[in-house]
Amino acid sequence: MEAKYHGNKPCHIVFCILTIFPLFKGLGSYTVNSAYGDTIIMPCRLDVPQNLMFGKWKYEKPDGSPVFIAFRSSTKKSVQFDDVPEYKDRLSLSENYTLSVSNARISDERRFVCMLVTEDNVFEAPTVVKVFISESQPFLIRKPLFLEEPCTHALSDCQSLLPPPSSKIQYFINNSLISKKINAVIIIFTKQMDPVTQLYTMTSSLEYKTTKADIQVPFTCSVTYYGPTGQKTVHSEQAVFDIYYPTEQVTIQVLPPKTAIKEGDNITLKCLGNGNPPPEEFLFYLPGQLEGIRSSNTYTLTDVRRNATGDYKCSLIDKKSMIASTAITVHYLDLSLNPSGEVTKQIGDTLPVSCTISASRNATVVWIKDNIRLRSSPSFSSLHYQDAGNYVCETALQEVEGLKKRESLTLIVEGKPQIKMTKKTDPSGLSKTIICHVEGFPKPAIQWTITGSGSVINQTEESPYINGRYYSKIIISPEENVTLTCTAENQLERTVNSLNVSAISIPEHDEADDISDENREKVNDQAKLIVGIVVGLLLAALVAGVVYWLYMKKSK
């Protein structure tokens, strides 16, 4: 999956351009330095004679011939300017014959002469004008270059092209000087003069073999030249070059992170190429498909299902061998609870319950009954009232956030009322406690009725209704035999039970509760065992006696 470069090493061409003034040889005479665009002020430098007639200014052409530009009469106090287009509206001549030239140009760099004329003499004083460009900063222009392009540039004799006086142009990458030796740099130097402004443009080009390491690294160039204040070095601003190179590697990214993709998610595939500029379009291949789908660098699949699991690929459009692939698993978790919802069963019924899961990863089931976690999954071979409640079967895939399922079962266990009555005489012998135990769901209502007369202590008491059970207690002190009837009734049935209670004066056997009955049975068993042992011992003694008797009879 790597692209190979063909051809020579890549190179980059950089131009460093500086606009600069031309430098004149010093003339050894009085010199006025002026900045480009400023007003040149040239004092006459002559003592004004007594019999002065007029003052004049001229300049000298390169061949030495004079051009008159300004005239001032000493007597008439008038000023006239000659019709020289170059100086139109740029001149002024003061009373002391100081000439001002506004808007200094490079072409003003010449010798001016002040002339004071008397009847019998002409006095002259020359002034050399120099116009300097206030500092001009070199700037870099660059040409984006494909790294693959071979560097084919003719070599030039750079040195001989340098203009006088020698100026030096240097290039820097990341602030260090680009040396010819290291980077095989070729610098070609040209200069051009604008005929109107007479400004020189010096151009240097650098042929530099860029590497990817030069991406985002700043280049600068500097020019060293002689200015009005001597040698100067000015630097260009930093420039970062666009270095173009082809994609060597394609990568594919998946959002959300691959481990967390679940059914219903939207998956975004993002394809990236490491070239510059990066590729903007790709071909996306869905699992099992050979034909790519052309898209920008992202491709979105919405509301994916488990069948979207597979290998996804993307390639460059024009180079299909440059391809990346990734495997995506769409996680899923199905849970089915049977039965579910609200289920009503009768006490003693059988109820098989199943909670099955099917998932892309191992998942475990958790059972919760009325907010308490159960140790094992419930299954009912014979339903009890305490089995009623709200059951929740829950599962989650730990690897995939947000992938959890739950279903619930609300179990109602119904039963007809069942009654059991007990009675107990108070140790004091003054009252009897009759209890009516009722079991059933929905909660049966209990009603007492008493037949027969007698002093009844009208005192009933109910226990809380737990697991389909509760009781009602009545304490009575009957003067004669009475029959107590307990009626329990719910939506399913009405059940009646009664108990004969003899008058308080007549002692009777109390009905013991279940636990004491069981104990009594155990006691009885022990008694039987003891009797058995005793009988066994007696029989053994009897056998021994008989044997002894036979022995004695024989021995006689």
Ligand X SMILES: *[C@@H]1O[C@H](CO)[C@@H](O)[C@H](O)[C@H]1NC(C)=O
Q: How far is the CB of 499 from ligand X (least distance, A)?
A: 6
**Considering all CA atoms of the chain, what is the largest pairwise distance in Å, rounded to the nearest integer?**
210
Q: What is the 3-state secondary structure (H, E, C) of 10-33?
A: ECEEEEEEEEECCCCCCCCCCEEE
Q: Which of 50, 65, 75, 362 binds ligand X (CB under 6 A)?
A: 362
Q: Please say which residue, 159 or 362, places its beta carbon nearer to ligand X.
A: 362
Q: Which is nearer to ligand X, 330 or 347 (CB)?
A: 330
Among 131-139, 264-272, 326-334, 352-360, which window interacts with ligand X (CB under 6 A)?
264-272
Minimum CB distance to ligand X smaller for 265 or for 394: 265
Quick note: the x/- pattern for ligand X over 62-101, rule CB under 6 A, is: --------------------------------xxx-x---
Residue 348 to residue 343: CA distance in whole angstroms? 15
Residue from 22, 43, 292, 452 binding ligand X (CB under 6 A): 43
Q: 96 vs 382, which CB is nearer to ligand X?
A: 96
Closer to ligand X by Cβ: residue 224 or 307: 307
The helix or strand, by DSSP H or E, that contains position 531, with its residue range, turns out to be helix 514-555
Task: Indicate whether 224 belongs to the interface with ligand X (CB under 6 A).
Answer: no
The CA-based dihedral angle spanning residues 191, 193, 197, 202, taken in that order and rounded to the nearest 10 degrees: 0
416, containing H or E segment:
strand 404-425
- Choose which of 265, 387, 394, 439 interacts with ligand X (CB under 6 A): 265
Nearest Cα to Cα of residue 219 among 176, 186, 255: 176
The distance from CA 221 to its chain's CA centroid, rounded to whole angstroms, is 41
Residue closer to ligand X, measured from CB, 297 or 502: 502
Residue 222 touching ligand X (CB under 6 A): no
Backbone angles phi, psi at 400, to 5 degrees: -115, 110
- The token pair at 273 is 């190429």
Residues 463-482: x where in contact with ligand X by CB under 6 A, - otherwise, as a string: ------------------x-
Among 31, 134, 266, 463, binds ligand X (CB under 6 A): 266
Ranges within 399-458 binding ligand X (CB under 6 A):
456, 458
By beta-carbon proximity to ligand X, the closer residue of 98 and 408 is 98
List binders of ligand X among 481-510 (CB under 6 A).
Answer: 481, 483, 498, 500, 502, 506, 508
Asked if residue 50 binds ligand X (CB under 6 A), the reply is: no
CB neighbour class for 229 (10 Å; exposed up to 12, middle 13-18, buried from 19): exposed
Cβ-based nearer residue to ligand X, 350 or 483 = 483
Query: How far, in Å, CA of 77 to CA of 53, rounded?
Result: 10
Could you tell me which of 439, 496, 435 has the C-alpha nearest to residue 465?
A: 439
What's the CA gap between 522 and 527, in Å, rounded? 9
d(CA 495, CA 95): 143
Q: Indicate whether 309 belongs to the interface with ligand X (CB under 6 A).
A: no
Half-sphere exposure of 330 (CA within 13 A, CB side): 19
Applying CB under 6 A, the residues found at the interface with ligand X are 43, 94-96, 98, 264-266, 302, 305, 307, 362, 456, 458, 481, 483, 498, 500, 502, 506, 508
